Structure 1
Amino acid sequence: MTNDARKLLSIVVPVYNEQGNITPLYDEVARIMRRVEDRYDWELVFTDNCSKDATFSELVALAERDARVRVFRFSRNFGFQRSILTGYLKARGDAAVQIDCDLQDPPELILTFIQEWEAGSKVVYGVRKSRKEGFFITLLRQVFYRLIDFLSEDHLPHDAGDFRLVDRRVLDVLRQIDDSKPYLRGTLATLGFPQKGIAYDRAARERGESKFRMRDLFALAFDGILSHSTVPLRVATYTGLVVSVITFLAIVYYALARIFWGRDWPPGFATTTALILLSLSLNALFLGVIGEYVGRIYHQVRKRPLTIIEHTVDRAPPRHSDVNGLGAGERPGQAEPSTVL
Structure 2
Amino acid sequence: MTSKTECKLVSIIIPIFNEEANVRTAYEAIRTVFDPLHDRYAFEIIFPDNHSTDSSFALVQALAREDGRVRGVRFARNFGFHRSVLTGYRLAAGDAAIQIDCDLQDPPEVIPEFLERWEKGDDLVVGVRRERADGQTFLWARKLFYRLLAKMSDDDIVIDSGDFRLLDRTILDQLQSIDDAAPFMRGLTSMLAAKQSTVPYDRKPRLHGESKFPLRSLIGLAVNGMLAHSIVPLRVATYTGLAVALVTFLSTLAYIVGRLVFHVPMPAGFATTTALLLLGITLNALFLGIIGEYVGRIYNQIRARPMTVIEQSININLSSAPALRRAGELRSYPGDRPTIPAQIEGS
Q: TM-score w.r.t. structure 2 length?
A: 0.90
> C-alpha separation between the residues in 2 aligned to 1:74 and 1:231?
34
SS at match of 2:6: coil
Map 1:146-295; keep pairs closer than 5 Å: 146-295=147-296
Deviation of 1:301 (Å): 0.6
> C-alpha separation between the residues in 1 aligned to 2:298 and 2:208?
39
| Residue 6 in structure 1 maps to residue 7 in structure 2 | yes
Deviation of 1:35 (Å): 1.2
| Residue 335 in structure 1 maps to residue 339 in structure 2 | yes
Deviation of 1:296 (Å): 0.8
Letter of the 1:335 counterpart: T
Stretch moving more, 256-265 or 170-179: 256-265
CA deviation map 1:2-42 (0-9, x unaligned): 94322111000100000010111111111111011001111
8 A Cα contact 2:127 2:198, kept in partner? yes
> C-alpha separation between the residues in 1 aligned to 2:99 and 2:173?
16
CA deviation map 1:172-202 (0-9, x unaligned): 1122221111111011111231111000000
Map 1:24-35; keep pairs closer than 5 Å: 24-35=25-36
Deviation of 1:260 (Å): 1.6
CA deviation map 1:114-152 (0-9, x unaligned): 111111111111000110111111111111110100111
CA deviation map 1:201-234 (0-9, x unaligned): 0000001100101011111111111111111111
Q: Which residue of 1 aligns with 2:75?
A: 74
CA deviation map 1:277-331 (0-9, x unaligned): 0100111111111111111111111111110000011168x9xxx897997999x
CA deviation map 1:31-75 (0-9, x unaligned): 111011001111110000000111111111111111111110000
Letter of the 1:184 counterpart: M
Map 1:50-69; keep pairs closer than 5 Å: 50-69=51-70
> C-alpha separation between the residues in 1 aligned to 2:191 and 2:122?
15
Letter of the 2:122 counterpart: S
Deviation of 1:335 (Å): 2.6
SS at match of 1:261: coil
Letter of the 1:220 counterpart: L
8 A Cα contact 2:15 2:47, kept in partner? yes
8 A Cα contact 1:233 1:290, kept in partner? yes
CA deviation map 1:229-269 (0-9, x unaligned): 11111111111001101101111111111112223321211
> C-alpha separation between the residues in 1 aligned to 2:77 and 2:213?
17
Give structure 1 stretches of 5+ with no counterpart.
337-341
> C-alpha separation between the residues in 2 aligned to 1:208 and 1:69?
22
Q: Which residue of 2 aligns with 1:339?
A: none
SS at match of 2:14: strand
SS at match of 1:224: helix
The structure-2 alpha-carbon separation of the partners of 1:265 and 1:315, relative to structure 1 and needing over 3 Å to count, comes to closer
Letter of the 2:77 counterpart: R
Letter of the 1:79 counterpart: G
SS at match of 2:314: strand
Quote the RMSD (CA, aligned, Å). 2.2
8 A Cα contact 1:12 1:97, kept in partner? yes
8 A Cα contact 2:182 2:224, kept in partner? yes
Deviation of 1:79 (Å): 0.8
Percent of pairs with identical residues: 49
8 A Cα contact 1:82 1:182, kept in partner? yes
> C-alpha separation between the residues in 2 aligned to 1:170 and 1:75?
27
> C-alpha separation between the residues in 2 aligned to 1:303 and 1:3?
42
Q: Which residue of 1 aligns with 2:343?
A: none
SS at match of 1:47: strand
Stretch moving more, 108-117 or 148-157: 148-157
The structure-2 alpha-carbon separation of the partners of 1:97 and 1:324, relative to structure 1 and needing over 3 Å to count, comes to farther
8 A Cα contact 1:314 1:334, kept in partner? no
The structure-2 alpha-carbon separation of the partners of 1:86 and 1:257, relative to structure 1 and needing over 3 Å to count, comes to same
Stretch moving more, 256-265 or 205-214: 256-265
Q: TM-score w.r.t. structure 1 length?
A: 0.92
The structure-2 alpha-carbon separation of the partners of 1:178 and 1:315, relative to structure 1 and needing over 3 Å to count, comes to closer
The structure-2 alpha-carbon separation of the partners of 1:326 and 1:209, relative to structure 1 and needing over 3 Å to count, comes to closer
8 A Cα contact 1:68 1:315, kept in partner? no
SS at match of 1:126: strand
> C-alpha separation between the residues in 2 aligned to 1:4 and 1:141?
43
The structure-2 alpha-carbon separation of the partners of 1:315 and 1:183, relative to structure 1 and needing over 3 Å to count, comes to closer
Map 1:300-319; keep pairs closer than 5 Å: 300-314=301-315
Give structure 2 stretches of 5+ with no counterpart.
332-336, 341-347
8 A Cα contact 2:10 2:97, kept in partner? yes
